C-alpha cells in the first residue's frame, strides 16, 4: 500500500541482483492449456519494497517494479519524468535507473486518453496517462496489457498492484485487468491465485502466479476469510488478527493482547507493521521504551538480550501472531533492532502505529515469516510458517474447474 523504508539501523544487508523468473509451461512457444499452470517471478527487497524485473514493449525494456498486494494499479515511471531527471543530474544515491520506461522506442505501445493519478499514505504519488503494451513477466508474454505511464511522480520506481481491481485509481471510471487476471485470461494460469514467498527479506524471494510451492512452508496452509468492507465489498486483502504474544527462549510467553479480533492488511507494499495505538503502546511499555525524536522511533537499552549482533543469526525471542487456526512466529530481530552498528545496547522498535482502522497493516516484516496464498476467486488468504532459504522447489499448479477445493487438491496432489 504505502512504500515505507526500514530504518538505517536494520542490520541485515540488501541484494540488488535479480532475474526474470520462469514458467511451468509444457511448451515454450504457447500459453498453457485451459486448466492452467504457474508463473514464477523472483524479487529482492530494496528501497523499502519487493522489486521484480518485468519487460515492457517491443523491443523489450527491462524495468524493475515494486510488487504491492495492498493496491491494484500497474504503473511505471516515464523516462522523461522530471523527478527522475533531477535525481540523475544531482548524482543522488537512489535514482530511477533501471526503473523507467521510454514509450517512444516501443513499436507496440498505444496511449489511452484516460488520466491516471494515485497517492499513497506516505504522500508519494504517480500521475500520467494509461496505455497498453506487451508485458513479459516471469516467462509469460502478456499482449495489450493496460498500465499507466507516470510523467509526474516522486517515487524512483513504478508499482505492480496485486490487490482487488475494484480499487484501481483512474480519475474516471476506467477499469482494466491486472496482471493476475491477464495471466488467467491469456491462459497461463488456471485460477485467480498467487503465492508470496518473501523469504528472509534479504535473500531472493518469489511470487508464484497460479501455483503453490510446497517446499517453502512448514505444517499446513490454513485458510482465512478475507474481511469485506462495511458495505460488504471485498476491496483489500484484510485478515483478522486475534492475538499477539512474545515468546521467550524457554517457550514461555508474555501476552500483549489475547482478543484483538481486528482486520489487518496483508500488504507487501508496506515495510513495517502498523498496529493500533493501544497494542503498540503495550509493546513500548513492556520494553520500557521512550520516543526518540532524533530517529523517529521508540528506543530502549539492553538490546543485546533480545537481538544477536551478527547479521547471520536470528533472535531466540519471537513475536507470535495468532489467527483462527494458526500462529505465525516472527523472530524479534525483524521488529526490534540496533539503532547503530556501533552501539550494541540501544534498540529501536521498528513498528508503526495508527488510530485509523483502515491502516492496520501486516507488512513485509511479518510477511517474510509467512508463506501466503492469496485466493481472489474465493476471497481467502492461506497462511503457513515460511521456511527460509530453501533452494529446492515442489511447485504445483492450482487448476481450473475444482472450485473452492482447487487449492486443497493442488496441495494434496
Question: In this predicted model, what pLDDT tens digit does every residue of 180-220 receive, in sequence order?
Answer: 999 999 999 999 999 999 998 778 999 999 999 999 999 99
DSSP, collapsed to helix, strand or coil, labels residue 186 as: coil
Res 47: pLDDT: 87
Instruction: Please determine whether the domains at 22-209 and 218-376 fall in the same fold group of CATH.
Output: yes
Report which DSSP code applies to 332: G
pLDDT of residue 169: 67
- How many CA atoms lie within 13 Å of 357's alpha carbon, on the beta-carbon side? 11
The strand pairing partners of 322, in sequence order, are 243, 327
Show Cβ contacts of residue 117 under 8 Å, excluding neighbours closer than 6 positions: 125, 126, 127, 169, 171
Mean pLDDT of 119-139: 92
Q: Write down the domain spans for the chain.
A: 22-209, 218-376
Question: Dihedral sign, CA of 4, 369, 268, 100?
Answer: positive
Name the pairing type of β-strands 253-257 and 243-247.
antiparallel
CB–CB of 180/87 below 8 Å?
A: no
Q: Would you call 51 helix, strand, or coil by DSSP? A: strand
CA atoms within 13 A on the CB side of 360: 20
Lowest mean pLDDT among 117-121, 152-156, 294-298: 117-121
Which one-letter DSSP state was computed for residue 94? S
Query: What's the CATH class of domain 218-376?
Result: mainly beta
Beta strands in 226-360 (DSSP E): 238-241, 243-247, 253-257, 262-266, 273-276, 290-292, 297-301, 318-323, 326-331, 336-340, 343-349, 351-354
Give me the residue label for grid cell 544515491.
93
pLDDT of residue 7: 38
- Residues written for the chain: 413
Which CATH number, 3.40.630.10, 2.40.50.140, 2.40.70.10, 3.40.50.720, labels domain 22-209? 2.40.70.10
Give the chain's radius of gyration (CA, Å): 21
Per-residue confidence band for 131, with pLDDT thresholds at 50, 70 and 90: very high
Question: pLDDT (tens digit, 9 = 90+) per residue, 74-95?
Answer: 999 999 999 998 998 898 888 9
The phi and psi torsions of 379 (rounded to 5 degrees) equal 55, 55
* Averaged pLDDT score across all residues of the chain: 87
Amino acid at each position: 500500500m504505502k512504500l515505507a523504508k526500514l530504518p538505517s539501523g536494520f542490520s541485515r544487508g540488501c541484494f540488488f541482483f535479480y532475474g526474470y523468473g520462469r514458467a511451468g509451461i509444457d511448451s515454450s512457444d504457447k500459453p498453457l492449456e485451459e486448466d492452467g499452470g504457474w508463473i514464477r517471478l523472483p524479487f529482492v527487497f530494496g528501497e523499502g519494497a519487493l522489486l521484480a524485473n518485468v519487460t515492457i514493449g517491443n523491443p523489450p525494456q527491462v524495468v524493475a517494479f515494486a510488487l504491492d498486494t495492498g493496491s491494484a494499479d500497474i504503473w511505471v515511471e516515464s523516462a522523461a519524468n522530471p523527478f527522475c531527471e533531477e535525481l540523475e543530474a544531482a548524482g543522488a544515491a537512489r535514482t530511477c535507473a533501471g526503473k523507467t520506461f521510454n514509450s517512444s522506442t516501443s513499436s507496440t505501445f498505444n496511449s489511452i486518453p484516460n488520466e491516471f493519478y494515485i497517492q499513497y499514505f506516505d504522500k508519494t504519488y504517480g500521475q500520467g496517462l494509461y496505455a497498453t503494451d506487451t508485458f513479459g513477466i516471469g516467462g509469460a508474454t502478456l499482449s495489450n496489457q493496460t498500465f499507466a505511464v507516470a510523467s509526474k511522480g516522486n517515487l524512483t520506481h513504478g508499482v505492480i498492484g496485486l490487490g482487488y481491481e475494484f480499487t484501481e485509481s483512474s480519475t474516471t471510471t476506467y477499469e482494466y485487468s491486472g496482471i493476475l487476471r491477464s495471466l488467467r485470461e491469456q491462459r497461463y494460469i488456471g485460477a485467480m491465485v498467487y503465492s508470496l514467498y518473501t523469504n528472509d527479506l534479504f535473500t531472493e524471494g518469489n511470487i508464484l502466479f497460479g501455483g503453490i510451492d510446497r517446499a517453502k512452508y512448514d505444517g499446513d496452509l490454513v485458510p482465512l476469510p478475507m474481511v469485506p468492507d462495511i458495505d460488504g465489498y471485498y476491496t483489500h486483502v484484510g485478515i483478522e488478527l486475534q492475538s499477539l504474544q512474545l515468546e521467550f527462549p524457554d517457550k514461555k510467553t508474555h501476552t500483549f493482547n489475547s482478543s484483538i479480533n481486528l482486520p489487518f492488511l496483508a500488504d507487501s507494499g508496506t515495510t513495517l507493521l502498523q498496529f493500533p495505538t493501544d497494542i503498540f503502546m503495550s509493546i513500548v511499555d513492556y520494553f520500557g521504551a521512550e520516543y526518540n525524536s532524533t530517529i523517529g522511533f521508540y528506543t530502549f537499552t539492553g538490546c543485546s538480550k533480545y537481538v544477536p549482533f551478527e547479521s547471520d543469526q536470528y533472535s531466540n525471542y519471537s513475536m507470535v501472531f495468532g489467527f483462527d487456526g494458526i500462529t505465525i512466529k516472527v523472530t524479534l530481530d525483524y521488529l526490534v533492532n540496533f539503532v547503530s552498528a556501533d552501539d550494541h545496547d540501544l534498540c529501536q522498535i521498528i513498528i508503526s502505529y495508527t488510530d485509523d482502522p483502515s491502516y492496520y497493516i501486516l507488512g513485509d516484516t511479518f510477511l517474510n515469516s509467512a508463506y501466503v496464498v492469496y485466493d481472489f476467486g474465493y476471497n481467502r488468504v492461506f497462511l503457513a510458517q515460511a521456511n527460509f532459504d530453501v533452494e529446492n522447489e515442489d511447485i504445483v499448479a492450482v487448476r481450473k474447474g475444482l472450485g473452492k477445493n482447487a487449492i486443497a487438491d493442488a496441495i494434496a496432489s
